[in-house]
Amino acid sequence: MITLKEALKLSSKELEDLKANLASEIAKHPELNAYIDVNNVGSGVPIAVKDNIQVKDWSITSGSKILQGYIAPYNATVIEKMLKAGLSPFGRTNMDEFAMGSTTESSCYGKTLNPHNADCVPGGSSGGSAAAVAAGLAIAALGSDTGGSIRQPASFCGIVGMKPTYGRVSRYGLGAYASSLDQIGPMTQNVEDAAILYDIISGHDEKDSTSADMNDKVSDKLNPARKLRIATLPKYIEHASQDVKDAYSKAIEALKNAGHTIVEKELLDAKYDISAYYITATAEATTNLARYDGIRYGRRAECKDLKELFINSRSEGFGEEVKRRILLGNFVLSSGYYDAYYVKAQKVRHIIKDEYAKVFEDVDLILSPVAPTTANRFGSLSNPIEMYLSDIYTISVNLAGLPALSLPICKSAKGMPVGLQLIAKAYDEQTLFDGALSLEKEINYKG
């Protein structure tokens, strides 16, 4: 598949052919279920868009029955920025309902398959975007990452996925899951394309009150020759499988060969991240999802009075995982438990942030696993807690608001891609991309 960098040089005639080609390839692979629909309207370079990012006049459902029938009344800021840069949204990609999940199985449109092995999940929640890029059905895609939803599916599908610093990319027009953690980011075939797409979608936006007042760009200054200090985490990686540990050793060797200095560090045990994240994320989600009442958006259930309207619309519209999180979020925010859970989670969040700050006093980047395993088989996570635990390596980055990039390192013994992530200081995307580009060159991963 042509890269984003190359596609930006195509004539409009060449772009038309490319899009027709893409549409016919997508139609040939319905079983993959990466796209919910293809909507080839604009004249720019086609970019696949996760179904929780608004494109004016398109359906948007966040993978949920409750939003079916809803039409986006305006463009998300990232879409406006893409259009200005000569890109155009091309189809909605499948996702876990309201971005809650790590497998894309909770979508109301059914599961998406991993292009490397149809018995395995593509990861989630941006599994449709990852599968589309990995299968050659998209040049690049947008995803959103609240606790790993860009980086983990990128790792499972063997592509590049980047979560920007919190505040770098406007959340205006993104379906909110947990507002203090959500960021939109690029999912691409390589690091340079990720930098290009990041540059296009990032920048200050007055429509998002948490948007950083910064507009610096990275892609025209990429410098993989910079020599960096990179932290490794020998104890932290103990929770990972042998495949991931092997990839980790391989990446360390590659970084050394590229001339970087490796420094061993430690972070807070990742088990604290899970509790802090799932309390914070569900508390925010429960508040954000309160707006889906059957009146203002999407689907309305049969009812005989107002109370039934709320109850039936929400009962029929939300799936099981979303309901579980609404319950959990209400529980941790309820008056008797607010201090014991929610307030405590915020304190832990601060400690996690401080731990990262300490490590970054001495290094430029941190090398970390993305997920403890390669893509799991469908149905192999027997309960929700097991799925939550599989997020141990991604969620602290969101809690601390940091930028991170997942890139493929090698294949496992069973032929599945293994990705690792580099994490940088807040707002230091330049160093993140420079280091990632250097590692990508040295590793020379062939999908």
Residues near ligand GLN (CB under 6 A) are 99-102, 125, 145-149, 177, 281, 391
Nearest to 351 by CA among 407, 286, 434, 267: 267
Closest to ligand GLN by CB, 223 vs 380, is 380
Q: How far is the CB of 405 from ligand GLN (least distance, A)?
A: 15
Closest to ligand GLN by CB, 148 vs 417, is 148
Q: How far is the CB of 326 from ligand GLN (least distance, A)?
A: 13
Peptide bond between residue 24 and the one before it cis (omega within 30 degrees of 0)? no
Q: How far is the CB of 52 from ligand GLN (least distance, A)?
A: 9
Q: How far is the CB of 69 from ligand GLN (least distance, A)?
A: 23
What's the 3-state SS for 12-56?
Answer: HHHHHHHHHHHHHHHHHCHHHCCEEECCCCCCCEEEEEECCECCC
Q: How far is the CB of 236 from ligand GLN (least distance, A)?
A: 19
Closest to ligand GLN by CB, 151 vs 411, is 151
Q: Which of 62, 129, 149, 211 is catalytic?
A: 149
First-last CA distance in the chain: 12
Sheet holding 45-50, edge to edge: 35-37, 87-93, 45-50, 140-145, 183-188, 160-163, 404-411, 417-424, 365-369, 229-232, 261-264
Closest to ligand GLN by CB, 98 vs 236, is 98
Q: How far is the CB of 253 from ligand GLN (least distance, A)?
A: 30
Q: Which of 50, 111, 163, 425 is catalytic?
A: 50
Q: Which of 62, 106, 125, 390 is catalytic?
A: 125
Tell me how far CA of residue 149 lies from CA of 2, 323, 352, 378, 390, in angstroms. Answer: 25, 19, 20, 17, 12
Q: Establish whether 50 is a catalytic residue.
A: yes
Closest to ligand GLN by CB, 77 vs 152, is 152
Are 202 and 186 in contact by the 8 Å Cβ rule? The answer is no
Closest to ligand GLN by CB, 44 vs 98, is 98
Structure tokens at 180: 């203090």
In angstroms, the CA 39 to CA 48 distance is: 10
Q: Which residue is nearest to ligand GLN (CB)?
A: 149
Question: What phi and psi values does residue 426 have, to the nearest 5 degrees?
Answer: -55, 135
Tell me how far CA of residue 373 lies from CA of 109, 254, 393, 404, 443, in angstroms. Answer: 26, 21, 11, 18, 20
Q: Establish whether 125 is a catalytic residue.
A: yes
What are 48's strand-pairing partners? 141
Q: Give catalytic residues, as residue numbers.
A: 50, 125, 149
